[in-house]
Amino acid sequence: MTEPAQRIAVIGGGISGLSAAWELSGAVDPSQTQLVVLESDRRWGGKIDSFEFEGSQVDLGPDAFLARRPEAVGLCQELGIEAELVAPSASRAYVCSRGKLRALPSGLVLGVPTRFLPVASSGILPWPGLLRLAMDFIAISPRTSLPKSVGGSQRSQDCSVGDIIRTHMGSQVLDRLVDPLVGGIHAGRAARLSAAATFPQLLQACATGPSLARNLRPPGTPDRAEKPTQPIFLSVQRGLSYLIESLVAQLLSRGISLQLSTTVRSLGRSDGRWVIGLEEADLQADGVVLAVPAPVSASLLASHSAQAASLLGSLEHASVAIVTLAYAKEDVATDLSGTGFVVPAVEGRLLSACTWLSSKWKHLEKHDEVLLRASVGRFGDERFMALDDEELLSAAHAELSEMLDLSGPPLAGNVRRWPGAFPQYAVGHLELVSQLQDSISELRGLALAGAALNGVGIPACIASARAAARKVLADQLRR
C-alpha cells in the first residue's frame, strides 16, 4: 500500500476523538491526507454507552447534554439526527435532605438560591441555615475578600465554589443545595471545585455586590421564578450511543480509517513526523489529536514536554458507578412525577443521585414498570468500589426501598462502573489548562481534546475537539 502524502491521527474514539475526526474530515482533501482514528476499546463512544434494558435503550454513561450550548445540538443537526432529540417530560427534581425527599425550590441557579421564600418553605434547610441564608438576601453577610488570586494574571482569579457559598450563604446551603447540584455534574465536591472553571457566574456575582442571591438572580425576574421556555437538557431517543453510531457511519462514508482494539502505546518523533507506537507496526503521522483521558495523554507526552505531562498527571479523578433497576409499578408507593433526586454527601448514603428514567423521559415510560438509574460514588467517596456487583445492586435497592417506599425486589438490575471517569477541576484549573496549552504550543501538529480541559460535559468536549482539529490543520499550513 502506498503511503498517503499526509496523515492525521486522532487517538481516542470517545465523543471528543470522533468529533475531532468529524471536523478534520470536513476540511482536508482525502486524496492528499489520510485521517485515522485509533481506539483501544472494542467499541466506539468512550463514556457514551447505551444498552438494552427491559426493552428500551438506556444510557449507562451520560444520559443527556446541555441544550443551551450549541455544540451537541449543532453536531446532531450536521449528522441529520436532530429529529431524534428529546427533551425531558418532567421538570420537578428533589433532594434527599434531613432524611426525606423534598422538592427543590424554584429560583435556584445550580443550587444557589436567588429567591428566599421557596427555600424557606421547602424544608430542605434547618432554621439556623435559613437564618444564615436570609443574611445574604438582606445583604448583611460578612463581606469577603473573594475571589482570591491563585496566580499572577487576571485569568487566574479563582477560589472554590464552596468558599464563596459558605462565606455568603453558610454551610447548610453549601452542603444541602449547592454541593449535590454543582458537585453532581463533576462527581466532585463544591469545597474543592474551581469557581472560575465550573461556575464563573458565581465569581462575577460575588464581585458585583454584597448579596450573592440578588446578583445571581436573572435580570427582570425580581420575584418570579424563571420559567425556561427552551429545554435545558436534551437527549437522543435511541440512547446517546445513536449519536456515536451516526458519527461513525458518516465518518466511514467519508473514507476515514476507523480502528478499534488499537491501543496507542507510545508517541515518538522522527524526521519532523509523529511516530505512533502500536502493538504491531508504528504509524507515522503529520498531525495528532490526543483525545484520551488525562493520565494517558500525560504518559504519551512525557518525552515531549515534561511540563505538559506533569500538569496532566496532576489532575485528580473521581470514580462512579451507575446502577440501573426496574421495579413493578405496583411496588412503588411514592409518586414519581419528576426527574429524580440528588443526595447531599452530608446524608452519608451510598447513593449520590437517582434519575426516575421512566418519568423523566417519555420514550422510557412503561405500562407496568418503573425504571430507575441510581448513581454512586463521588470524589472522596469510593465506598462502592469495595462492593461486588451483587452487593452494589442490593445496597442500592436497600436505599431506594427506604427513600421511595418500595415493597418488592427489582425485576432486573445492571451495574456499570466508571473508574477515574471525572477529572476534577480544582482551584486554578483554568490557569493549569492555559499553562498546558502553552507547554504544547511548540509541539507542531499536536493538539489536546477532551474532558480534562474546559468542561466535562458533551458540548464542551465537542468544542475542545473541534478546536484541537483546527489547531492541527493550522499547524499543517505553517509547514
Shortest separation between residue 431's beta carbon and ligand FAD, angstroms: 21
Report d(CA 459, CA 88) in Å as an integer. 18
Binding mask 404-423 for ligand FAD (x = CB under 6 A): --------------x--x--
The residue among 174 and 421 lying less far from ligand FAD, judged by its C-beta, is 421
The residue among 167 and 339 lying less far from ligand FAD, judged by its C-beta, is 339
The residue among 18 and 206 lying less far from ligand FAD, judged by its C-beta, is 18
Q: Is position 11 an interface residue for ligand FAD (rule: CB under 6 A)? A: yes
Q: Is position 46 an interface residue for ligand FAD (rule: CB under 6 A)? A: yes
Among positions 6, 23, 37, 47, the unique one binding ligand FAD when judged by CB under 6 A: 47
Under rule CB under 6 A, how many of the chain's residues touch ligand FAD?
35
Q: Is position 257 an interface residue for ligand FAD (rule: CB under 6 A)? A: no
The residue among 214 and 470 lying less far from ligand FAD, judged by its C-beta, is 470
Determine the interface stretch with ligand FAD among 46-54, 160-168, 391-399, 470-478 (rule: CB under 6 A).
Answer: 46-54
CA pseudo-torsion sign 160, 163, 168, 171: positive
Residue of 372, 338, 343 lying closest to 357 (CA atoms): 372
Q: Is position 243 an interface residue for ligand FAD (rule: CB under 6 A)? A: no
Hunting for cell 474530515 — which residue is that? Answer: 25
The residue among 157 and 358 lying less far from ligand FAD, judged by its C-beta, is 358
Q: Is position 461 an interface residue for ligand FAD (rule: CB under 6 A)? A: yes
Q: How many CA atoms lie within 13 A of 168 on its CB side?
A: 31
CA pseudo-torsion sign 55, 60, 66, 70: negative
The x, y and z cell numbers of residue 86, run together, are: 428529546
Contact (CB, 8 A) for 91 and 339: yes
Shortest separation between residue 454's beta carbon and ligand FAD, angstroms: 11
The residue among 174 and 320 lying less far from ligand FAD, judged by its C-beta, is 320
Q: Is position 340 an interface residue for ligand FAD (rule: CB under 6 A)? A: no
Q: Is position 292 an interface residue for ligand FAD (rule: CB under 6 A)? A: yes
Q: Is position 23 an interface residue for ligand FAD (rule: CB under 6 A)? A: no
Q: Is position 293 an interface residue for ligand FAD (rule: CB under 6 A)? A: yes
Q: Is position 236 an interface residue for ligand FAD (rule: CB under 6 A)? A: no
Q: Is position 361 an interface residue for ligand FAD (rule: CB under 6 A)? A: no
Among positions 10, 38, 96, 182, the unique one binding ligand FAD when judged by CB under 6 A: 38
Among positions 22, 24, 28, 63, the unique one binding ligand FAD when judged by CB under 6 A: 63
Q: Is position 274 an interface residue for ligand FAD (rule: CB under 6 A)? A: no
The residue among 341 and 418 lying less far from ligand FAD, judged by its C-beta, is 418
The residue among 106 and 263 lying less far from ligand FAD, judged by its C-beta, is 263
Shortest separation between residue 41's beta carbon and ligand FAD, angstroms: 4
The residue ranges that bind ligand FAD (CB under 6 A) are 11-17, 38-41, 46-48, 61-65, 263-264, 291-293, 296, 320, 322, 418, 421, 450-451, 456-458, 461
